[in-house]
Amino acid sequence: MDNKKNENFSEWFTEIIQKAELADIRYNLKGFIVFRPWSVLSIEEMYKLYEKELQSKGHKPTYFPILIPESNFHLEASHVEGFSPEVFWVTEHGKGEKFEERLALRPTSETAMYKMYSLWIQGKSDLPLKIYQRGTVYRYETKATRPFFRSRELVWIEAHNCFATKKEAVKQVKEDLKMTEKVMYGEFCIPFIGFQRPEWDKFPGAVHTYAADTLMPDGKVIQMPSTHLLGQNFSKPFNVMFADEKGKQTPVWQTCHGPCISRIYGGMISILGDDQGLRLPFKLAPVQVIIVPILKGDDAKNKAVLKYCKKIQKKLIKKEFRTEIDSSENTPGFKFNQWEMKGVPIRFEIGPKEFEQNKITLSIRTKKQKETIDFKDIVKIVKNKGEEVTKDLKEEASKNFLDVIHDAKNMNELKQVLDKGGFARIPFCSVEMEGRECADNVKAETHGDIRGIRVDSKEKPNETDKCIWCGKSAKEIVYIARQY
């Protein structure tokens, strides 16, 4: 790689996108990019892991139409207000005639799904209803496009749930946060903090919004999955009702959860990559083991080496390890760099010596040294080494993450922390609407956004702590960071 990640993250990211062939931004429609196979293969694995987790918690998959009639949008006032500026409208069909009403390319699917939920839910036996879909959503973003993070088409999952009681809905939010931890950190190696967003920064139509925030290598924050407690804000206008024990029609309690897989992928490669290129968790790598034959002048020996490589590949593929042999004309050194740049976790080098002794020279992407192993042990060793790569990545990411959280008690300290990059932890007057003016002022001065209060700890200010802006007694400890 020409660019160093920690010196010039933005250039590093652009370079890795091109060199590892992850995406192509040259598609001739502004704000839309093409995802290339090397990213899609990992993204597919991410979907599998996320959906497996969702299904284990009782969510069922569905496919909803991508077009939503405009009248659906107007049922929930703050939702339409929040999303209207971003909607792509389909207004006519191929014969040039206008539709009776405009159709939205879904920016999110509440207003498509809840219309149907009102038909599906009658009594208590229809609850809970837990449904999700994978798909694309469309938002007319006006800021500059950055592959995977921001474009006008997002690749995501959305789960939409209905319950008989508020208690169950709140429990669902907690379950979503736990699942986020298990998948985002456990599988994707992305450290994050879960926040309850301030009142002024909620999802349009939600009672509360919870979101996982992580930090990019340049210290800017990025939102990962979010979960929203919708309460009865949608079920009332959409008429999603059930008859309770006494036969009384009652609006259901709702939650929704939206992990944007493309953005998570962008975050993951940014956090885990290094100056040699991509680094990928073992389960997500499109190729998990690359076999590089070391061929010398002797044809007969070369043939034997290649045959041995195929034997190794066959054994690993049988155990479902994604394994390839690089038998291109390039030099071994070139191949090593190339597959390192692509983030392949395990490399085998096979020359005449390895073939004669029935051995393999192995190295992993996260460590420098090489070792020699026996052919008979390869399945067990690949499994262990794969886990080791994932563990190494996770530990390094966590360590870097903890290094960038600092306290700030006044505006000067806050500016210093934000200039260095990362989260500042500050005393603040309120995360209710009355705190908004302070948040706006702080943002105008520092370009920092208040991310909210931490959900996994009960951090409270001291009695003497004052709001960093207005000087009133602080009710909360909030986190603040600059975002893209």
- The residues binding Zn ion (CB under 5 A) are 429, 438, 467, 469-470
What pairs with residue 346 in β-bridges? 289, 364
Asked if 323 and 359 touch (Cβ cutoff 8 Å), the reply is no
Cβ closest to Zn ion, residue 1 vs residue 438: 438
Task: Read off the amino acid at residue 113.
Answer: M
Cβ closest to Zn ion, residue 216 vs residue 424: 424
Q: Tokens for 11?
A: 């250039």
Cβ closest to Zn ion, residue 356 vs residue 432: 432
Q: For Zn ion, which residue has the nearest CB?
A: 429
Q: Which helix (H) or strand (E) segment is 383 a member of? A: helix 378-402
Minimum distance of Zn ion from residue 405's CB (angstroms): 21
Cβ closest to Zn ion, residue 278 vs residue 467: 467
Residues of 436-468 as b/e, b for ≥16 C-beta within 10 angstroms?
bebbeebeeebebbbbbbbbeeeeebeeebbbb
Cβ closest to Zn ion, residue 243 vs residue 470: 470
Q: Is 428 helix (H, G, I), strand (E, B) or coil?
A: strand
Q: Kindly state the DSSP code that residue 181 receives in the 8-state scheme.
A: I
Closest by CA position to 82, among listed 180, 228, 194, 195: 228
Minimum distance of Zn ion from residue 417's CB (angstroms): 18
CA 139, CA 356: separation in Å to the nearest integer?
Answer: 59
Cβ closest to Zn ion, residue 343 vs residue 448: 448
Could you give the maximum distance between any two Cα atoms of the chain, in Å? Answer: 87
Q: Which helix (H) or strand (E) segment is 43 a member of? A: helix 37-56
CA atoms within 13 A on the CB side of 456: 11
Cβ closest to Zn ion, residue 455 vs residue 470: 470
> Exposed/middle/buried for 145, CB within 10 Å: 0-12, 13-18, 19+?
middle
Cβ closest to Zn ion, residue 104 vs residue 467: 467
Minimum distance of Zn ion from residue 437's CB (angstroms): 8
Minimum distance of Zn ion from residue 213's CB (angstroms): 21
Minimum distance of Zn ion from residue 428's CB (angstroms): 6
Chain Cα centroid distance, residue 174: 18
The strands making up 423-428's β-sheet, listed across from edge to edge, are 60-61, 129-138, 153-163, 253-258, 221-231, 208-215, 193-196, 449-454, 476-481, 423-428, 405-407
Minimum distance of Zn ion from residue 203's CB (angstroms): 24
The strands making up 323-325's β-sheet, listed across from edge to edge, are 323-325, 289-293, 346-350, 359-364, 371-374
Minimum distance of Zn ion from residue 480's CB (angstroms): 13
Minimum distance of Zn ion from residue 439's CB (angstroms): 8
Cβ closest to Zn ion, residue 152 vs residue 475: 475
Minimum distance of Zn ion from residue 90's CB (angstroms): 44
CA 432, CA 269: separation in Å to the nearest integer?
Answer: 35
